[in-house]
Amino acid sequence: MEMTAHNMEQAFDDFVISMNRTSKNTDADGINVPQRIEMFDRNIRSLYQLIDNDWLKKGLESGFIKTGEERISINERLLGIYDVNAKWIQIGAKRLTLEPIGTVLVGIDARIDLIYKYKEIMLVLLAGEGKKKKPQWKYVVANGKVAYEPLTKDSFQKLIMDVVYETDRI
């Protein structure tokens, strides 16, 4: 059956309406931008709460550790410019920063770098296999090849000590 000009025009109009109806806030790459940014922000806040309410709780309660947050802007090609919170950790005269890097990254749901002076340690949120498992924060170890280790209270505290000792030795 041949399409007439009128039928083609109607078919195209229907196509345009359908694409707009299904896209809402989804961009050309199939990413729902507001939803992706909100999920990244939720993941960041969840990690920060875990740090304050568990991993560094004893030091915070004693006053030997202080933490705070400050708003930063991130520019991701697929999401544009948006704001999230970075976190600082003050231990004595040492100040470390947790700086969110992005959420549109291959194989991971989020990346935050733990930074002290010139040293950066990548913290990544890896999705569970086929979304069956709960996403888990890990840190990246690069000894010849990249490996992911679970980010736990113990590993987080060790990362802080290691990065401070390593950079202050030089």
The confidence score (pLDDT) of residue 146 equals: 84
CA–CA dist 79, 133 (Å, integer): 26
Which DSSP symbol is given to 168?
H
Single-letter code of the amino acid located at 108: I
Single-letter code of the amino acid located at 8: M
The confidence score (pLDDT) of residue 3 equals: 67
Instruction: Write the burial class of residue 149 (CB in 10 Å: 0-12 exposed, 13-18 middle, 19+ buried).
Output: exposed
Which DSSP symbol is given to 105?
B
Contacts of 2 (CB under 8 A, 6+ apart): none
The confidence score (pLDDT) of residue 2 equals: 64
Question: Of the segments 5-19, 30-44, 148-162, which one has the largest average pLDDT value?
Answer: 148-162
- pLDDT (average), residues 95-105: 93
Give residue-wise pLDDT tens across range 80-97: 999 999 999 999 999 999
Q: Is the pTM of this model over 0.85?
A: no
* Residue-level length of the chain: 170
Q: Lowest-confidence range among 15-19, 65-69, 80-84?
A: 15-19
CA–CA dist 44, 41 (Å, integer): 5
CA–CA dist 63, 72 (Å, integer): 26
Q: Residue 27: is its pLDDT beyond 60?
A: no
- pLDDT (average), residues 101-119: 90
Contacts of 23 (CB under 8 A, 6+ apart): none
Residue 47, both tokens: 């990690």
The confidence score (pLDDT) of residue 143 equals: 78
Instruction: Write the burial class of residue 125 (CB in 10 Å: 0-12 exposed, 13-18 middle, 19+ buried).
Output: buried
- pLDDT (average), residues 55-74: 97
> Which of 16, 37, 48 is CA-nearest to residue 114?
48
